[in-house]
Amino acid sequence: MPKKLVFSLLLGGLLSAGTLYLAFRNVPLAQLISYLGTITYAWMAPSLALVVLSFVLRVCRWRLILKDAMALSFWQAFHPLMIGFMINSVLPGRVGELARPVLLKREHGLAFGTGLATVVAERVFDMVVLIALFAAVFPTVVSRPDLDVAFGGMHLNSQTLQAVAWAMIRIGIVLVIGLALLAFSGSRRVLLNTIEWLMGFSGRTGPRLQKHIQRFGRALIGWVESFAQGLKLIGHPRRAIACLALSVMIWAAGVLSYYVFAIGCPGIDLSFTEMAVVTTIICFFIALPSVPGYWGVWEAGGVFALALFGATAQDAAAFTLVSHALQLFPVILIGWLSALVTSINIWQLSYGTKTKNMLEVNA
């Protein structure tokens, strides 16, 4: 196993343990274990089915986004997607987002930039739905200005969540504008002309520096053009609407998964709408830079969100911990199975690919 991978796994494990400690240090361990024994685990089965359904819907959405660049069968799209999510669950840095375009390049010859663009487009659809959910649940969040949950020496309150949410909205706006500039031929031509002009201007520099600038400029032009290939969905309104509808269904399945499991959890008596609030808040928390699998920050978001509806710290912590595992472990298992089926070396995929190879999009 590569030394870098061992270091990443150890670092990720330590970070996860630390954040979990911060999330649960104020929860009596004996009471937490006692509560875990009161959960009706039979509700896990339908909840797990909904988790799997959400990923099936993600595969369908990704195939639609990819359609202009490359037509993939369900399984050809399923395996890279699950491997990517699995890597995100066990390694820091969200390198799983890069795994999918790397796999598409290796297995199907699709330019890395094009594959990456489809992953970015997916995240934009997710962000649009998440922002819409936040707008819907915002009154619930601000209705408790007195809410204050201690976590790791910090105090989480409605102002904290609002700050995170507005940061997400600003990032979303920047992403949408950036993708639009690359997707539309007119604005993309302006960008390419600018790069070419800068390459021509490099003639005033020394020969060695000019050579590097020219090489970088050609790679950047190739990357922009290949990236734009993954954004052709924008030119197909019906398909874009279908992707948006699938995104709504993905999030609905996720919320319903939490809601169904909560039926078997004492002290977690929430309506579907209230569970949507909890899911939205958790997603804002895990959108921040975090440890592998979001351990700790996920629980902090869940405890904070459930406190809005009167759940005790003990009940909220136990429910969030088990539901987190319920969401994460199937992804890890299915991702490993996908790697076995496709004979993909996860370690090599994660750290054996040099950055320069990923930037050579036209190779």
Helix (H), strand (E), coil (C) string for the chain: CCHHHHHHHHHHHHHHHHHHHHHHCCCCHHHHHHHHCCCCHHHHHHHHHHHHHHHHHHHHHHHHHHCCCCCCCHHHHHHHHHHHHHHHHHCHHHCHHHHHHHHHHHHHCCCHHHHHHHHHHHHHHHHHHHHHHHHHHHHHHHCCCCCEEEECCEEEEHHHHHHHHHHHHHHHHHHHHHHHHHHCHHHHHHHHHHHHHHHHHHHHCCHHHHHHHHHHHHHHHHHHHHHHHCCHHHHCHHHHHHHHHHHHHHHHHHHHHHHHHHHCCCCCCCCHHHHHHHHHHHHHHHCCCCCHHHCCHHHHHHHHHHHCCCCCHHHHHHHHHHHHHHHHHHHHHHHHHHHHHCCCCHHHHHHCCCHHHHHCCCC
Give the pLDDT score at 306: 87
Residue 358, pLDDT score: 39
Which residue ranges in the chain fall short of pLDDT 70?
A: 1-32, 92-93, 138-158, 161, 164-165, 202-206, 288-293, 346-363
Query: What's the confidence (pLDDT) of residue 355?
Result: 39
pLDDT at site 359: 37
Q: What is the pLDDT of residues 137-175, one digit of tens each?
A: 766 665 566 666 665 555 666 677 677 667 777 877 887
Residue ranges of the domains in the chain? 39-359
pLDDT computed for residue 153 by the predictor: 55
The per-residue pLDDT for range 236-284, each reduced to its tens digit, is 888 889 999 999 999 999 999 999 999 999 989 988 888 988 888 888 7
